[in-house]
Amino acid sequence: METAILMPPETMRREFHSEKRVLVLSYSQSGDAARCAAELLEPLRRSGVRLTEVEIRPLRPYPFPWGSLRKFFNVMPDCILGKTPEIEPPEIDEDVEWDLVILVYQVWFLAPSLPIQAFLRHPAAKFLRGCPVVTLSVCRNMWLAAAERMSDSLRRLGAHHVDNVVVTHQGPIWATFITTPRYLLWGRRDRLWNLFPEPGVGTAELSRVASFGRSLAAQSSEFEPDRRAPFLSGQGATRIEEKYILPELIGRRMFRLFARLIERFESLGGRFLRGVGVYLFVATLVAGVVVGIPVLFAFRLLFSRLLCPFLRGYKERMSGPSDRFQVGTEDPVHRLADH
């Protein structure tokens, strides 16, 4: 008589579900993040990976296009201070042991978008403990502050942030300062006066994202819970331009100052004073871009020998987790940037 060998439930589940299970969490207001996610996921879908896609939905949807300056900039204080909206409870099977989680998010005002911040604080996010997570962020051109907040949030949840893919809008910074607001406020995707590039993510960036999807698909046999090693080392998942580092470090401090100021205005005079604070922020932001950024570039050229070691250290730290980033490393520029 043969003796039956009993396996633990966890082992039995792996025996019956040998295909790799990947959970995709995303929020896309303008559609750019959704387009990037589709490019990343298509190679995985073709490789036979079992994908489960969950969209994060705020109870009160954010409009696209925004339609007005006030609506658009009014969310800045909440993004910076972490005042998140209510979201629909994400439908995530708590009994599934995910081999990989892909988190797709947009950057709003140097921070992860509010629906994504809300998810990371939702009780449903507790399943991320021990999960390997690949993040895909989509932004105009400044994403470092948002990436730090995302890494901190994942670390607090006990997740393993194994890779970070960053996608930026096409065009130089001076052009995107015009094309991106025009797109977000009024939905215009055409080339302004045939001089400016089309707004949003271009075909070159979409092709780049697809290449990362193919790389992940080629390594799908290595997807497993509790993995800590990156999949995209040395593939340029993040591309950091040093000339943007100082403007962003200063910008995040300015944003935080104005977020608190606007919050104070609202406590004193309700929506009206909040609106005054928002328009004051807009005026300061425009002046900062027109005058401040050229001054900062000149400052960086004049003091390059002094600044280069700090900027290089920050750049190296933020090139991860795909490359050299290690949790707990810190440099003087990072301390300067702390909130």
pLDDT of residue 5: 44
In the block, which residue shows the tokens 């995707």? 189
pLDDT of residue 133: 98
- In percent, the amount of the chain with pLDDT more than 70 equals 90
Percent over 90 (pLDDT), the chain: 60
Q: What is the 3-state secondary structure (H, E, C) of 33-78?
A: HHHHHHHHHHHHHHCCCEEEEEECCECCCCCCCCCCHHHHHHCHHH
Report whether pLDDT(8) > 60.
no
- For the segment 140-149, what is each residue's pLDDT rounded down to a tens digit? 888 999 999 9
Distance, in Å, from the CA atom of 263 to the CA atom of 84, rounded to the nearest integer, reads 14
pLDDT at 1 over 60: no
CA 302 distance to own-chain centroid: 32
Q: Look over the chain and give the mean of its residue pLDDT values, rounded to a whole number.
A: 87
- The model's confidence at residue 283, banded by pLDDT at 50, 70 and 90, is very high
Q: What is the CATH number for 38?
A: 3.40.50.360
What angle in degrees, to the nearest 10, is found between the helix axes of 203-218 and 32-46? 30
What pLDDT score was predicted for residue 15?
Answer: 41
CB 318 within 8 A of CB 144: yes
Instruction: Please tell me the predicted confidence (pLDDT) of residue 18.
Output: 66
Residue 203, in any domain of the structure: yes
CB 44 within 8 A of CB 217: yes
Q: Which value, to the nearest 10 degrees, does the dihedral of the CA atoms of residues 294, 298, 300, 306 take?
A: -160
* pLDDT score for 199: 80
Say how far residue 213 (Cα) sits from the centre of its chain.
Answer: 17
Please measure the distance between the N-terminal and C-terminal CA atoms of the chain and give it in whole angstroms: 69
pLDDT of residue 324: 60
When mean pLDDT is compared over 41-45, 198-202, 286-290, 320-324, the highest value belongs to 41-45
- Residue 311 counted as domain residue: no
Q: What stretch of H or E contains 268?
A: helix 245-287
Residue 263 lies in a domain: no
Could you give the CA distance from residue 22 to residue 111 in angstroms, rounded to a whole number? 25
**Per-residue tokens: 261:** 């100021």
Whether 2 shows a pLDDT value over 70: the answer reads no
Stretch (H or E) spanning 248:
helix 245-287
Ramachandran assignment for 234, one of left (phi > 0), alpha (psi -120 to 50 degrees), beta (any other): left
- Examine residue 162 and state whether it is found in any structural domain, yes or no: yes
Dihedral (CA of 198, 204, 209, 210) sign = positive
Q: Tell me, yes or no, whether 246 lies in a domain.
A: no
Residue 86 domain-assigned? yes
- Contact between 25 and 52 (Cβ < 8 Å): no
Q: Does residue 336 register a pLDDT over 80?
A: no
Most confident of 12-21, 166-175, 277-286, 305-314: 277-286
Question: Which residues have a Cβ under 8 Å from the Cβ of 25 and sit 6 or more positions away?
Answer: 54, 56, 90, 101, 102, 103, 104, 119
What value does the mean pLDDT take over residues 3-21? 54
Q: What is the amino acid identity at position 153?
A: S
Query: What's the confidence (pLDDT) of residue 14?
Result: 45
Better pLDDT: 46 or 242: 46
Does any domain span residue 134?
A: yes
Domain range for 35? 9-239
pLDDT above 50 (res 63): yes
Placement of tokens 């996921």 in the chain = 41
Answer whether residue 15 is part of any domain: yes
pLDDT attached to residue 42: 97
The C-alpha atoms of residue 77 and residue 274 are separated, in whole angstroms, by 10
> How many domains, the chain?
1
Residue 311's pLDDT is 81
Q: What is the pLDDT of residue 147?
A: 95
- 156 or 192, higher pLDDT: 156
Least confident of 195-199, 260-264, 324-328: 324-328
